[in-house]
């Protein structure tokens, strides 16, 4: 295939724009913040599950405390009633029975109050754990919101770069012979599309060409499109190619 050196050299600009398009498309589809946002979502789910467990334990503890407080109220009411009956009693046997019951109720109340203290301490500890868990969730949400906003900005920037590179690419491709662009695209689809031969090295595959290959290239006119013997990409030869 024949193509002017200027057109062959312009292919390098086309390849650079294709690389810009590839990178911008990748950045648009996979912003760098995406992986961390996914991690934060998983962390928040774990934290929320633990928070639900702690809230359930606190609810159970509060219900148990309410039950104990109700029992204390019953004991107090019964003790007050027995005290009134004892004060009005004239029967020694009845009075002895009431005194024994009042003593039993006092012990029962002490036991209940001890249980109350244990439950209240448990609730206090759960309150602290819940507050800590809620703080972790809030921090996770804050980081997630910040990264999501950054990700949206990154996607917008990548989209703008993608659109600009796509427009520039179309403009460059329009300047070049259709058959040359088709050849480049066919080669690029399977590997290296084009590379500049600089100081005996192919810019596409970074391989140094052998003396035999370079000798063959010297015999080929500059407007003849040649390919790299190593990678198969179009080899653009200039004055500093070293061949």
pLDDT band of residue 87 (cuts 50, 70, 90) is confident
What's the whole-model pTM score? 0.69
Domain boundaries along the sequence of the chain: 5-24+177-237, 31-160
pLDDT band at 61 (very low <50, low <70, confident <90, very high): very high
Given this model, what pLDDT does residue 45 score?
97
Least confident of 57-66, 87-96, 110-119, 227-236: 87-96
- Which pLDDT score is estimated for 240? 67
Residue 188: pLDDT over 60: yes
Average pLDDT over residues 30-39: 94
Predicted confidence (pLDDT) at residue 241 exceeds the cutoff of 70:
no
Confidence band of 95 (pLDDT split at 50, 70, 90) = confident
Q: Give the range among 47-51, 64-68, 95-99, 101-105 with minimum mean pLDDT.
A: 95-99
Average pLDDT over residues 23-45: 95
Across the range 117-146, mean pLDDT stands at 97
pLDDT at position 243 is 54
Q: What is the 3-state secondary structure (H, E, C) of the chain?
A: CECCHHHHHHHHHHHHHHHHHHHHHHHHHCCCCHHHHHHHHHHHHHHHHHHHHHHHHHHHHHHHHHHHHHHHHHHHHHHHHHHHHHHHCCCHHHHHHHHHHHHHHHHHHHHHHHHHHHHHHHHHHHHHHHHHHHHHHHHHHHHHHHHHHHHHHHHHHHHHHHHHHHHHHHHHHHHCCHHHHHHHHHHHHHCCCEEEEECCEECCCCCECCHHHHHHHHCCCCCECEECCCCCCEEEECCCCCC
CATH architecture entry for 31-160: Orthogonal Bundle (1.10)
């Amino acid at each position: 295939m024949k193509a002017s050196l200027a057109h062959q050299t312009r292919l390098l600009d086309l390849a650079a724009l294709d690389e810009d398009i590839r990178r911008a498309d990748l950045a648009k589809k996979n912003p760098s913040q995406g992986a961390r946002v996914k991690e934060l979502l998983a962390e928040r789910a774990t934290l929320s599950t633990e928070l639900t467990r702690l809230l359930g334990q606190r609810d159970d503890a509060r219900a148990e405390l309410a039950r104990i407080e109700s029992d204390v109220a019953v004991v107090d009411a019964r003790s007050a009633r027995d005290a009134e009956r004892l004060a009005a009693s004239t029967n020694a046997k009845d009075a002895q029975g009431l005194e024994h019951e009042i003593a039993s109720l006092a012990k029962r109340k002490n036991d209940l109050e001890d249980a109350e203290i244990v439950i209240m301490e448990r609730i206090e500890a759960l309150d602290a754990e819940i507050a800590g868990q809620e703080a972790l969730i809030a921090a996770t949400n804050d980081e997630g919101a910040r990264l999501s906003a950054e990700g949206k900005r990154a996607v917008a920037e990548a989209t703008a770069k993608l659109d600009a590179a796509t427009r520039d690419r179309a403009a460059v491709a329009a300047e070049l012979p259709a058959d040359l662009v088709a050849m480049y695209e066919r080669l690029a689809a399977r590997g290296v599309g084009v590379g500049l031969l600089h100081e005996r090295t192919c810019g596409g595959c970074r391989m140094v060409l052998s003396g035999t290959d370079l000798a063959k290239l010297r015999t080929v006119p500059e407007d003849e499109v040649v390919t790299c013997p190593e990678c198969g990409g179009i080899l653009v030869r200039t004055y500093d190619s070293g061949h």
